[in-house]
Amino acid sequence: MNWTIFHEQVFPIRHKLYRFALRITGSVHEAEDVVQEVLEKVWKSSPDHSETVQNWEAWCMTLTRNRSLDKTRSQSLRRTAPLDNLSERRTDNISPADAAENSDLTENIKKMMQQLPEKQRLVMHLRDIEELTYEEVAETLGITLDQVKINLHRARKTMRTMIIEREKVIRS
Amino acid sequence: MFQLKHIEALLEKYWEGETSLEEERLLKAYFASGEVDAGLRSFTPFFQVLKDEQAVQLLKKPVIADLRPQQYNWKPWLAAASVALLLAAGFWWIHRPVTIDPYAVQPIETPAPATQPETTAVPETPQVAMETPASPVSSAKRKMIARQKPNASPQLNEEEEKAMEEIKAALALVSSKLKKGRQEAVKGTEHLDNMDRVFKKKKEGEG
């Protein structure tokens, strides 16, 4: 591919790709490997294919998602858990004293986010952390706009419920 | 700075997934401001996490050695440029302007060997003489031109015809002068031979 495009449009988003890979794999080393592989794949892509790409960021994010999911699935490292029992399980395991610590709270919230169902987790990451538009999220994940909104709504609602329940536990 | 009611309304919109990116940035700024209302403080760690996650960076640099720009292959271009240069040079050589050397155009008829004595002191003057005038035309070109017959080209225009006629006349004059000179030279040689004989006889007589 073109060296200028690579350096101006692809290489600068490596941190974004890394965060996305980290969100999916949950492993620093795997996320680093994913970014390396994605960058190599983009760099080695044929000029013909490069000409068809209109949004490099969306394409790289899609590659990152696919590669990360492949890695996660192949190594059985899925960290998602069913949402039904999540809040109960989390609140049961955390003592009020620990929860009072702000650092612990943020760590717990990170874990909560990581335990969201895959689609909700990725939609929330792309929207709330990477600040993509709904259209960009849909393009990156290969889903419809409605699915983006539904998954985002569910993810936020789950987070809100968990935060409120945690607050109740701390106060009690 | 931040109106609590506005923030609360925005937060409700946020949980429903109906906020714009601008509104979401405003909420993040509010929860990062340190002036969060007590009733909303429980959500601060959540927005703090979003902010922290945005700052996460890839610490391990991708292996740039494998990502360097591919070495540009100049060889095909170099070969093509060489061929183009050769073609251009050949084209120029064929179509270059030619200064016609009148001495070279008319091949000089050398006298028949039978009529020319081997012992003659007369050098092959025509060829030697013809080398004398400076000529911008190379010897190879001269040979090529010399091989051409004077009227070989049917494409000569009037001016060229006229020039050719003048050249022929000039060459004929030169040729006749040379012929005369050659005859004179032969006579001179015969005279020298006679003189030589006389000297020999004289020497024999004295001896």
Give yes or no: residues B125 and B42 share one domain.
no
Work out the burial of residue B204: count CB atoms within 10 Å of its CB; fewer than 13 is exposed, 13-18 middle, 19 or more buried: exposed
Give yes or no: residues B199 and B111 share one domain.
yes
pLDDT of residue B201: 83
The phi-psi region of residue B68 (left if phi > 0; otherwise alpha if psi is between -120 and 50; otherwise beta) is beta
Segment A39-51 mean pLDDT: 83
Query: Which structural domain, as residue segments, surrounds residue B135?
Result: 99-206
Give yes or no: residues B30 and B110 share one domain.
no
Mutating which of A5, A8, A11, A15 best tests the B interface, going by the most B Cβ atoms within 10 A?
A15
Give yes or no: residues B105 and B187 share one domain.
yes
Compute how many other C-beta atoms are within 10 angstroms of the C-beta atom of residue B60.
Answer: 13
Residues of B in contact with A14 (CB under 8 A): 58, 62
Nearest CA in chain B to A23: B53
B161: tokens are 């015809």
B43 touches chain A (CB under 8 A): yes
**Topology at the third CATH level for domain A86-171:** Arc Repressor Mutant, subunit A (1.10.10)
Query: What is the C-alpha to C-alpha distance for residues B168 and B165, in angstroms, rounded to an integer?
Result: 5
The answer to whether the CB atoms of B42 and A167 lie below 8 A apart is yes
Is residue B29 assigned to a domain?
Answer: yes
Give yes or no: residues B29 and B106 share one domain.
no
Query: What is the C-alpha to C-alpha distance for residues A81 and A65, in angstroms, rounded to an integer?
Result: 19
The partner residue sitting opposite B58, judged by closest CB among A15, A129, A130, is A15
The partner residue sitting opposite A156, judged by closest CB among B14, B21, B57, is B14
Looking at the structure of chain B, the number of domains it has is 2
pLDDT of residue B110: 58
Distance from CA of A136 to the nearest CA of B (A): 12
Is residue B93 assigned to a domain?
Answer: no
Is residue B64 assigned to a domain?
Answer: no
pLDDT of residue A49: 78
- The DSSP secondary-structure symbol of B114 reads T
- Residue by residue, pLDDT tens for chain B (207 residues) are 789 999 999 999 999 999 999 999 999 999 999 889 999 999 999 999 999 999 999 988 877 555 555 555 677 888 899 999 999 999 888 887 766 655 555 555 555 555 555 444 444 444 434 444 444 445 555 555 555 545 545 566 788 888 888 888 889 888 888 888 888 888 888 888 888 888 788 777 765
Residues of B in contact with A130 (CB under 8 A): 54
Is residue B70 assigned to a domain?
Answer: no
Asked whether the beta carbons of A12 and B39 are under 8 A apart, the reply is no
pLDDT of residue B75: 78
Asked whether the beta carbons of A42 and A9 are under 8 A apart, the reply is no
Is residue B68 assigned to a domain?
Answer: no
Model confidence pLDDT, tens digit, residues A14-36: 999 999 999 999 899 999 999 99
Give yes or no: residues B48 and B104 share one domain.
no
pLDDT of residue A114: 87
Half-sphere exposure of A124 (CA within 13 A, CB side): 31
Q: Is the pLDDT of residue A138 over 70?
A: yes
Q: Quick one: pLDDT band at residue A92, thresholds 50, 70, 90?
A: very low
Work out the burial of residue A114: count CB atoms within 10 Å of its CB; fewer than 13 is exposed, 13-18 middle, 19 or more buried: middle
Is residue B80 assigned to a domain?
Answer: no
Q: Quick one: pLDDT band at residue A100, thresholds 50, 70, 90?
A: low
Contacts 24+ apart (CB under 8 A), A7-14: A9/A56, A9/A57, A10/A39, A10/A42, A10/A43, A10/A56, A10/A60, A11/A39, A11/B62, A13/A56, A13/A57, A13/A60, A14/A39, A14/B58, A14/B62
Is residue B116 assigned to a domain?
Answer: yes
Model confidence pLDDT, tens digit, residues A111-131: 889 889 999 999 999 999 999
B25 touches chain A (CB under 8 A): yes
Nearest CA in chain B to A148: B17
Segment A60-80 mean pLDDT: 80
Contacts 24+ apart (CB under 8 A), A52-55: A55/A136, A55/A139
The phi-psi region of residue B61 (left if phi > 0; otherwise alpha if psi is between -120 and 50; otherwise beta) is beta
Give yes or no: residues B105 and B15 share one domain.
no
How far the first Cα of chain B sits from its last, in Å, is 147
pLDDT of residue B111: 56
- The CATH code of the domain at A3-74 is 1.10.1740.10
pLDDT of residue A128: 96
pLDDT of residue B94: 85
Q: What is the ipTM of this complex?
A: 0.77
Nearest CA in chain A to B54: A129
Asked whether the beta carbons of A93 and A128 are under 8 A apart, the reply is no
The partner residue sitting opposite B17, judged by closest CB among A43, A108, A153, is A153
pLDDT of residue B132: 43
Give yes or no: residues B197 and B118 share one domain.
yes
pLDDT of residue B130: 42
AA letter at A79: R
Distance from CA of B83 to the nearest CA of A (A): 28
> Where along chain A do its domains lie?
3-74, 86-171
Give yes or no: residues B103 and B50 share one domain.
no
Give yes or no: residues B112 and B193 share one domain.
yes
The answer to whether the CB atoms of B17 and A40 lie below 8 A apart is no
Is residue B173 assigned to a domain?
Answer: yes
